[in-house]
Structure 1
Amino acid sequence: MAFEDDYLDALQNIEAAIVGVYRTRPELVDYDVDVVLAALVKGYQAEQRQREKPALRLTELRQELYDAVGAMCEWRLGRTEFIDPKTDQPMPGPPQLTIDEILACLKRIRTSVKRWTKDGGRQGYLTFIDKFIV
């Protein structure tokens, strides 16, 4: 079975966070997404090695994306809860992933960003995934 099949829900969750920012901030480009994903990868790798996360210097837009995608990753790691806005109650979480699995998902999405940017230009990836996220 392909990686995408095994981790489809996690990949969709992370991409939903990306699209959520893109829909409110249409100036977001694929390069911003790649920078943020790379920063998250470095942060989780540092955590694995029990080192301090690298200091970040992100633009406001990239910080917004970093916060959104980071929150989704933390939820998938079982470290945070999402509150249902309708009930104000915590939503049940999905099966917990490991840091290795989150890293693999982030790296897989970076590969997709590079591919769709090459095929579709500055927002090729964002335009592509926007069609699939409700």
Structure 2
Amino acid sequence: MTQRTEEQYLDQLMQIEFAVLGFFDDHPELTDAVVDSAYEELAKRYRAEATAHEYKPGKLDGLRLELHDTLLPLAEMLVGRPDNVMPYAPVSAQAMQDVFKRLRVSIKRWGKVGGRQAYLNFIGGQLGGLELDGLDED
């Protein structure tokens, strides 16, 4: 994913990372490896859709499955299903696959820095004080 593409899908990237942070708040034992597994499975799902192939679910369990099941409804909204309720245009299945691939690259990059939660700590530091437009609670 090029820098331009990353900027193009910044809203989608941030929405997903905010959801992961919320999950992390509830599950402090969450690790980057678990997040990577959930992202990988979601990328696989949208790759199958983008290439008109049958999606064959992987074997997720525990926190991996719980995180996947938390992110899937959000990802579906981002591609415009069941109907577009987001404040911006839906993206294609290919774009959603690219988003999850980009997020996996970030996990790998931060994993090299060190720690089982390096990516989670990074996104917490970057997004922790931000609020999503229209989604903040008053």
Distance 1:92 1:129 in 2: 22
Of 121, 125, 132, the residue aligned with 1:127 is 121
Residue aligned with 1:64, SS: helix
Q: Give the letter aligned to residue 29 of structure 2.
A: E
Going from structure 1 to structure 2, the CA distance change for 1:92 and 1:14 (only over 3 Å counts) comes to closer
* 1:52-131 paired onto structure 2 within 5 Å: 52-80=54-82, 92-131=86-125
Taking a change above 3 Å as real, the CA distance of residues 64 and 76 of structure 1, as seen in their structure-2 partners, is: same
Residue 81 (structure 1) shift: 6.1
Query: Residues 77-101 of structure 1, C-alpha deviation per residue, up to 9 Å, x if partnerless?
Result: 010369xxxxxxxx55421101111
Residues 1:32 and 2:34 are matched in the alignment? yes
CA offsets, 1:18-72, max 9 Å, x none? 1111110111100011111111111111222333221332122111110122111
Q: Greater CA deviation, 107-116 or 91-100? A: 91-100
The count of aligned residue pairs is 126
Distance (Å, rounded) in 2 between the aligned partners of 1:130 and 1:95: 26
Letter in 2 for 1:19: L
User: What is the aligned-residue RMSD (CA, Å)?
Assistant: 1.9
Identity over aligned residues, as a percent?
A: 37
TM-score (norm 2): 0.82
CA–CA separation in structure 1 for the residues paired with 2:64 and 2:114: 21
Q: Which amino acid aligns with 1:12?
A: M
- Counterparts of 2:119 and 2:66, CA distance in 1: 18
Query: For 2:51 and 2:86, how far apart are their aligned partners in 1?
Result: 30
Which deviates more from structure 2 when the two are superposed, residues 64-73 or residues 103-112? 64-73
Per the TM alignment, residue 12 of structure 1 is displaced from its structure 2 partner at its CA by: 0.2
Return 5+ residue gaps in structure 2 as ranges: 131-138
- 2:16: which partner in 1? 14
